[in-house]
């Protein structure tokens, strides 16, 4: 049984704690919140024995072998660094860090101390996505000619939603951080590395009310991102990401090749994990749904699909810890996602195409 401490109690409370408590080989032994009373209330409601309001206390607990971190992004680097320096295993939410240099440092540190570090890129573990990946690997579309990705949500569409860290550039907010970090990981997983990119960001809701001061404050971060990528194999890829639109097709990937077309999509507004289906067609034939085989389905469906996918991430992490070997998606994948985010910010700032080095080149520097 692996003793886990949960740091970050927003997403941590909704997904991490229930996931670890449902998984047979992990036990949540401690919870962290800066506010000790909050930590105590959470610990009581989930029956967690230890509460801490400093990271030093968390890593000082003998019962804690591993720590999951789901704080806002600007806190990831310092917390993960402290956890790794204490020789504990890490599960980190995305975006990995504030920049690729920080992510690289954490990746190297994990290697030095022999800790198993995983990033919660959960789309790799969703049944429809796994079928989509298998069909691509089997050459269903043949030679790729065009990839189109739309990830359109309304989580920030309400202009009365309050100003918080998500609106701040220095705290890692914005749609690219929350959604683009996933997108860059699954592009790398499904289609391979990126050779160059061009990014354009915009902000539809320029100010929001800060509930602490009662004043409107500027939103410094993007809520819509348009990206053009050229993959290493030459395939053009077009990506539209938005957190402020009411769309019926919430998350859609279309791959067009010389031998066929594959589509992965979900219209589920409430849950970004459940509801994915796969369709395929050969040239001139109608698009037909391809059934997801039972072997890929979640053994248990939670009403919050994020828990179903997260449990598979935990399983991967635990296998890595038990075998003492790096797993995928590790911090290595986190570095690459972060690298593409950094170059997207550079491209948006300069209004130019930016060349992307290979992950190996970046890690070698």
Distances (CA, A) of 277 to 61, 74, 130, 134: 44, 34, 11, 14
Q: Does the residue 361 lie in any domain?
A: no
Residue 131 and residue 210 in one domain: yes
Q: Does the residue 286 lie in any domain?
A: yes
- The maximal CA–CA distance of the chain, rounded, in angstroms, is 63
Residue 40 and residue 161 in one domain: no
In this predicted structure, what is the pLDDT of residue 270? 86
Residue 143 and residue 93 in one domain: no
Segment 150-160 shows an average pLDDT of: 96
Residue 248 and residue 313 in one domain: no
Residue 226 and residue 292 in one domain: yes
Q: Does the residue 359 lie in any domain?
A: no
Residue 92 and residue 142 in one domain: no
In this predicted structure, what is the pLDDT of residue 269? 82
Helix (H, G, I), strand (E, B) or coil at 124: helix
Segment 253-277 shows an average pLDDT of: 95
Q: Provide the domain limits for residue 223.
A: 124-298+338-354
Distance of alpha carbon 69 from alpha carbon 9, whole angstroms: 9
Q: At what angle do helices 100-113 and 331-350 cross, to 10 degrees?
A: 170
Nearest residue to 359 (alpha-carbon basis) of 107, 30, 52: 107
Q: In the chain, how many domains are there?
A: 2
Distance of alpha carbon 179 from alpha carbon 166, whole angstroms: 12
Distance of alpha carbon 150 from alpha carbon 265, whole angstroms: 9
Segment 92-140, tens digit of pLDDT: 999 999 999 999 999 999 999 999 999 999 999 999 999 999 999 999 9
Q: At what angle do helices 181-191 and 331-350 cross, to 10 degrees?
A: 110
Residue 109 and residue 131 in one domain: no
Distance of alpha carbon 10 from alpha carbon 363, whole angstroms: 32
Q: Does the residue 360 lie in any domain?
A: no
CATH number of 167's domain: 3.30.360.10
Segment 185-241, tens digit of pLDDT: 999 999 999 999 999 999 999 999 999 999 999 999 999 999 999 999 999 999 999
Residue 154 and residue 270 in one domain: yes
Residue 176 and residue 280 in one domain: yes
Q: Are 87 and 111 in contact (CB under 8 A)?
A: no
Segment 47-83, tens digit of pLDDT: 999 999 999 999 999 999 999 999 999 999 999 999 9
HSE-CB for 84 with a 13 A CA cutoff = 26
In this predicted structure, what is the pLDDT of residue 38? 94
Only one residue has tokens 């289906």, namely 277
Residue 130 and residue 263 in one domain: yes
Nearest residue to 251 (alpha-carbon basis) of 345, 196, 161, 182: 182
CATH number of 70's domain: 3.40.50.720
The two tokens of residue 119 are 């990033």
């Amino acid at each position: 049984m692996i003793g886990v401490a949960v740091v970050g109690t927003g997403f941590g409370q909704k997904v991490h704690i229930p996931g670890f408590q449902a998984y047979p080989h992990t036990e949540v032994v401690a919870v962290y919140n800066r506010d000790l009373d909050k930590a105590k209330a959470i610990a009581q409601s989930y029956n967690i024995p230890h509460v801490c309001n400093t990271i030093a206390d968390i890593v000082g607990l003998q019962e804690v072998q591993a720590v999951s971190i789901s704080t806002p992004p600007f806190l990831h680097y310092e917390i993960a660094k402290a956890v790794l320096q204490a020789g504990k295993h890490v599960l980190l939410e995305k975006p990995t860090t504030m920049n690729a240099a920080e992510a690289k440092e954490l990746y190297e540190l994990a290697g030095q101390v022999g800790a198993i570090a995983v990033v919660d890129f959960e789309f790799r573990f969703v049944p429809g996505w796994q079928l989509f990946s298998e069909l691509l690997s089997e050459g269903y579309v043949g030679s790729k000619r065009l990839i189109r990705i739309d990830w359109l949500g309304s989580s920030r569409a309400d202009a009365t939603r309050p100003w918080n860290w998500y609106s701040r550039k220095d705290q890692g907010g914005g749609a690219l951080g929350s959604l683009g970090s996933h997108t860059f990981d699954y592009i790398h997983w499904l289609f391979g590395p990126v050779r160059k990119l061009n990014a354009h960001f915009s902000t539809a809701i320029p100010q929001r009310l800060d509930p602490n001061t009662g004043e409107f404050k500027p939103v410094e971060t993007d809520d819509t991102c348009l990206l053009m990528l050229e993959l290493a194999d030459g395939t053009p890829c077009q990506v539209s990401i938005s957190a402020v639109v009411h769309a019926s097709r919430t998350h859609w990937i279309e791959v067009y090749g010389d031998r066929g077309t594959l589509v992965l999509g979900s219209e589920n507004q409430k849950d970004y994990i459940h509801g994915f289906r796969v369709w395929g067609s050969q040239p001139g034939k109608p698009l037909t749904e391809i059934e997801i085989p039972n072997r890929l389905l979640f053994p248990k469906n939670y009403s919050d699909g994020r828990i179903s996918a997260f449990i598979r991430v935990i399983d991967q992490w635990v296998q890595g810890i038990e075998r003492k070997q790096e797993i995928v998606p590790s911090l290595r994948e986190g570095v690459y996602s972060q690298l593409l985010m950094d170059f997207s910010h550079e491209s948006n700032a300069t209004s130019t195409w930016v060349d992307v080095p290979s992950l190996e080149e970046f890690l070698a520097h």
